[in-house]
Structure 1
Amino acid sequence: MDRIDATRRGVLSLGAAAAATPWLGASHANAQAPAPADTAPGPLDELGITELRERMDDGRLDAVRLTRYYLDRIERIDPLLHAVIEVNPDALSEARRLDAERQPRGPLHGIPVVLKDLVETADRMHTTAGALALEGLRPARDATVAARLRAAGAVVLGKTNLSEWAGGLSLTHHAGWSARGGQTRNPYKLDRSPNESSSGTAVAAAANLCVAGIGTETNGSIIDPASANSVVGVKPTVGLVGRGGVIPGVPSQDSVGPIARTVRDAAILLGTLVGVDARDPASEASRGHFHRDYTRFLHADGLRGARIGVPRTVYFGYSHHADEIAERAIATLRAAGATVVDPADIPTAEQLEDLHSSLVVQAYEIKKALNAYLAGAPGDHPRTLAELIAFNRAHADRELRYVQQDGLEMVQQLDFSEREYREALATNHRLSRAEGIDAVLRKFRLDALVMPTTGPPAKIDLVLGDSYGGGASTPAALAGYPAISVPAGFAFGLPVGLTFMGTAWSEPTLLRLAYAYEQASRVRRRPTYRPADVGF
């Protein structure tokens, strides 16, 4: 077999698509922009979990009124954005049941959250990965993360749109496009990409269609849409959050994590999600590493005395806008008391961007995981990857009108042995861990690395797909290590985030640093919903 290069995103990565094709449905193929909507801010916009719970505790608010508030915003604003693929028809009844309980279960009691449409729920909603082939799929039980959120008292408001099959459908980047949900749009400028496959959750949080939500990441699919939509995204260490009942991509890299408007809200959600999951063997490694309350690590002066490295090679230089914003962020870190080591390059940074071993791992794991999922999922749908490809061809007028399925087809055609796979996975881990992130942290005695998450979001391109310049996600993706993106600034009104990256199980440290930076910078602002024909 000829060698097929795997780029930084990995040509096949489920959850790694960085661009978009704006599909608005068969009857709207020539539409240039959605119709105007009432995007006026509401009285509860930008309020976080703590503020909302305070209003609930003193009687000014209850779960039903809060849920109605977000359902109304979804009805009014989501036609512009296509962020929500499906609303939970039982959301209000869930809220009523929670209001009837005499004591709140915790900070999430009565708080409406959304789930990426990879997360199974045993209710009247579907779980489809955005694909027509899984329309009607209703699992018999909640995914572990959904069950934990419900047990904590959260109201599951709905499912969010995504890059179909989490970005694995096509070799061309199509962030936020699915045959079932159409094209998700960036709320800061409606002709811009929402970036990566957890785009619906990021857009919903940014536009105040929910309090917060759940995304998944294989390579960039939480932190990149967080950056593009000026919200916080936490990509945990692989195994910290159980993935039982989540449609898989590349299991050695897949993470489930929170997306919210603030670090505090993301920390609250993370504490609810973590813990050993009997349905996910990888979560066994989290014993002794997870915390039920991550808010205790949040301190406004958390940067004082920290040692933070700046890896310049690869992660700077692809966007002068991102570089300028990152330089201002680095100055903020210094001013807040951090020691900044600059440069502090990852020794293997350039190798990590173009690894044949990455292609081997992705192809092997996707085929195995997806075949297993399709074979076991209930209902009438394709049972194998080959049957899925045939289904899409039979429904090409809807599934393949703008986007080809060459990503799925390549996965099906490639055939690597288990030995080749094991060797490739070991190479990925060695270069990204001991010789990569851990090497630079150890050399300079660093608490974390910081770099721009990615550049300002590119324009949605119906014909060619969105362009992609560069980003920070690959080292943590291949290592299975944590990363957090926090809003860092705007270029011509388009958001850019700052990524904090560390070693395995370093979420407490990263959250402390990210929170202190957030408090010192305070750059997030509400979306503007600028139409396509206005400015840059």
Structure 2
Amino acid sequence: MRFTRIGAIAALLAATVAPAAHATPADDTAAYLKRIEALDANGPRINAVIALNPDAMRQAKAAEGKAGPLAGKAILVKDNIETADPMPTTAGSLALANNVTGRDAPMIARLRKAGVVILGKTNLSEWANFRSTHSISGWSGVGGLTRNPHATDRSACGSSAGSGAAVAAGFAWAAIGTETDGSITCPASLNGVVGFKPTVGLVSRTHIVPISHSQDTAGPMAATVRDAALMLTAMAGSDPADAATKDADAHKADFAAGLDGASLKGVRIGVIRRKSRANPLLYDVYDKALADLTRAGAVLVDIDYTNNDAIDRDEFTVLLYELREDLNAYLAGLPGHPPVRSLADLIAFDKANAAAEMPWFGQELFEMAEKATDKAAYEKARENAQRLAGPEGIDRLLAENRVAFLVAPTTAPAWPIDFVNGGHYTSVGAGTLAAVAGYPHLTVPMGDVHGLPIGLSFIGAKWDDAHILQAGAVYERVRSATIAAPTFRRWEP
């Protein structure tokens, strides 16, 4: 059943309100489950949740009376992250439809210790959107297509489409996404929620289906910067099984502690005004956000930034090589008897199940990655991309302009879903710089274009996660724009 009339949707929403502020964890969890049933599985069919945890209510009842800011908070987890609950971790692929590992990713174990309730798993762009150059954001063989609750005929972006849409739709208190390049920040922006990609190495990647050990990270997606900071506080920390996190314990903190007293008075901010084909109305919203930052006391410094094609070229070489290496290692180490143990097995599986796995787009990136075996070319590309994005990119822009961090629009408004031609992502900010360098990137809702949300990006130096969150929290307090609520219907002029 599809709801397109405003009156019908209003009636449905009235019957499925979000949890009350002082409800018990069990009440909250039950309310979220009811809302998911009404709006995700039925009604407008947002399709953000790929699996519900049958143990969620037991966890919620066990959390009653526990102390701590996360105790009893119900969250959803992107379905490329393992949890010990009786749910498979599929990465959206039918090849892993029965991949119940019985183990928590260390990051999930930290959240569980803090008292969160694992409500379920969210849909995603299959294999985190690195299977085809013509992929459809938010589509997977297991979960189908996730829709944007602000406009159900427009993209929720990806690959963390389900996590972004679920938070926007009120299906959970918060969610976890993962990013290699744009997979947290883009869906957060298009769905009108907060998304934070931390410094690579602050959060463990163990037991997360990989693309690239150079760029992969998990991060929180939430309704507010404070909620995201609370999540990150629990998620962060060193993991002996993930060498990239060796310095995480030295940089983890209570990331929510400094938010209330944070100030931008006298802080120099680098403003990226990058030319693009994006809707000019986006820049009108951006100008209002910059005016808000000025009223908060910030000193704005215009920065001339042009995308470096060499970064994109070398990043692609890195992702192809590391996908084959990292995914082969992950699949080979899975417990049980999965039908695939390597990228080559996956390619064969997709061909054998093409009607279900490749009805709209192929797997040319998988096939390219399988042939990406030139280690010397990979190492040269990795060094060059990280140098251009980090020391000669973000670090240089910060130093030469004497600014604390950079701001830019996160991306363009949501584009129409196109099953024929695939996604129509338009890059307008500097997210790729942060992704390739492994530096922190926060997006906070800054307004909308005709009801379609747009995020404001805050990008900083490596390990400067706390200050980036503080800047975002200040902007959130002074923001003058009204943030549009989801309509749960098709976009109409």
State the shift of 1:157 in Å.
Answer: 0.1
SS across alignment from 2:246: helix
Separation of aligned partners in 1, 2:77 and 2:190: 19
1:94 aligns with 2:53: no
- In the other structure, the counterpart of 2:260 is 299
Structure 2 counterparts to residues 297-446 of structure 1, below 5 A: 297-299=258-260, 302-313=263-274, 318-342=278-302, 344-346=303-305, 349-352=306-309, 355-378=312-335, 379-417=337-375, 419-446=376-403
Quote the sequence identity (%): 42
1:300–1:515 contact (8 Å) kept in structure 2:
no
Q: Which residue of 1 aligns with 2:13?
A: 40
Residue 31 of structure 2 is aligned to residue 69 of structure 1: yes
Letter in 1 for 2:18: D
Q: d(CA) in 1 for partners of 2:15 and 2:297?
A: 37
After superposition, the Cα gap between the structure-2 partners of 1:482 and 1:39, relative to the gap in structure 1 and judged at 3 Å, is farther
What is the correspondence of 1:23-422 to structure 2 with a 5 Å cutoff? 39-41=12-14, 45=18, 52=21, 55=22, 61-79=23-41, 80-99=45-64, 102=65, 104-291=66-253, 293-299=254-260, 302-313=263-274, 318-342=278-302, 344-346=303-305, 349-352=306-309, 355-378=312-335, 379-417=337-375, 419-422=376-379
Distance apart, 1:168 and its partner CA: 1.2
Amino acid at match of 1:241: V
In the superposition, the TM-score normalised over structure 1's length comes to: 0.87
Q: 1:317 to 1:448 in 2, by over 3 A?
A: farther
Q: 1:456-495 counterparts in 2 under 5 A?
A: 456-472=413-429, 473-495=431-453
Per-residue CA distance 1:122-158 (angstroms, 9 max, x = gap): 2210100000000111113100111111111000000
CA displacement at 1:299 relative to structure 2: 3.0
Structure 2 CA distance for aligned equivalents of residues 404 and 121 of structure 1: 29
Shift, 1:508, TM fit: 1.2
Task: Give 1:446 deviation, angstroms.
Answer: 0.8
Quick check: 1:527 aligned with 2:486?
yes
Secondary structure of 1:242 counterpart: coil
CA distance in 2, matches of 1:290, 1:207: 30
Whichever residue aligns with residue 187 of structure 1, its letter is P
Cα distance in 2 for partners of 1:265, 1:401 equals 38
Give the match's secondary structure for 2:308. helix
Q: C-alpha distance in 2, partners of 1:517/1:416?
A: 45
Aligned-pair distance for 1:354? 5.5
Report the Cα distance in structure 2 between the residues aligned to 1:137 and 1:206, rounded to whole angstroms: 28
Deviations 1:304-352 (A, max 9, x none): 22110112235x553312211111111110011100001x134xx4215
Distance in 1, matches of 2:282 and 2:39, equals 29
Moved more, 376-385 or 475-484: 376-385
* Alignment of 1:497 onto 2:455: yes
Which whole-Å deviations, capped at 9, do the CAs of 1:83-118 have from their partners, x for residues lacking one?
00000011001112222xx5x241111110000001
Measured in 2, the distance between the counterparts of 1:414 and 1:368 equals: 10
Distance 2:119 2:80 in 1: 15
Which residue matches 2:465?
A: 507
Please give the alpha-carbon distance, in whole angstroms, between the structure 2 residues aligned to 1:220 and 1:357: 17
Question: Is contact 1:276-1:286 (8 Å) kept?
Answer: yes
Structure 2 letter corresponding to 1:88: N
Shift of 1:383: 0.7
Amino acid corresponding to residue 210 of structure 1 in structure 2: A
Deviation at 1:503, TM superposition (A): 0.5
Q: Using the alignment, how far apart are the partners of 1:281 and 1:357 within structure 2?
A: 23
CA contact (8 A) 2:311 2:385 kept: no
Q: CA deviation at 1:475?
A: 0.4
- Pairwise CA distance, 1:359: 1.9
- 2: CA distance between counterparts of 1:364 and 1:133? 21
Unaligned runs of 5+ in 1: 1-27, 56-60
Q: CA deviation at 1:121?
A: 1.1
Indicate how the Cα distance of structure 1 residues 34 and 380 shifts in structure 2: closer, same or farther if over 3 A, else same.
farther
> How far off is 1:33 after superposition?
8.6
The AA in structure 1 aligned to 2:139 is W
- 2:175/2:222 contact within 8 Å kept: yes
Structure 1 counterpart of 2:265, one-letter code? R
- Secondary structure in 1 aligned to 2:257? helix
Give TM-score, length-normalised by structure 2: 0.94
**Counterpart of 2:404?**
447
What CA distance in whole angstroms lies between the structure 2 residues aligned with 1:136 and 1:246?
16
1:302–1:515: 8 Å Cα contact kept in structure 2? no
Alpha carbons 1:33, 1:191 under 8 Å: kept: no
Residue identity matched to 2:47:
H
Query: 2:184·2:219 contact (CA, 8 Å) conserved in 1?
Result: yes
Q: What displacement does 1:41 show? A: 4.7
In structure 2, the CA distance between the partners of 1:446 and 1:184, relative to structure 1 (3 Å rule), is same
CA distances 1:437-485 after superposition (whole Å, capped 9, x unpaired): 0001011211110000001000001111121222331000110000000
Aligned equivalents of 2:309, 2:272: Cα separation in 1 = 14
Letter in 2 for 1:95: A
Distance 1:503 1:222, change over 3 A: same
Which has the bigger relative contact order, CA under 8 A and spacing at least 6? 1
Q: Report the CA distance between 1:300 and its aligned residue.
A: 6.2
Please give the alpha-carbon distance, in whole angstroms, between the structure 2 residues aligned to 1:515 and 1:352: 33
Q: CA deviation at 1:368?
A: 0.1
Contact 1:353/1:474 (<8 A) preserved: no
User: Is residue 116–residue 160 contact of structure 1 (8 Å, CA) maintained in 2?
Assistant: yes
* 2:16/2:38 contact within 8 Å kept: no
What whole-Å deviation, never above 9, does each CA across 1:269-319 have from its counterpart, x for those lacking one? 01000010122110003242111x1111213662222110112235x5533
1:25 match = none
Give, in whole Å, the separation in 1 of the partners of 2:116 and 2:27: 14
How far apart, CA to CA, are the structure 2 residues paired with 1:352 and 1:107?
Answer: 44
> After superposition, what is the alpha-carbon deviation per residue over 1:352-410, rounded to whole angstroms, capped at 9, x for unaligned?
57643222211111110011111111232211111111111111111011121112112
Give me the whole-angstrom Cα distance separating, in 2, the residues matched to 1:407 and 1:178.
Answer: 16
* Matched residue SS, 1:499: strand
Q: CA offsets, 1:194-224, max 9 Å, x none?
A: 0120010010000000000100000000011
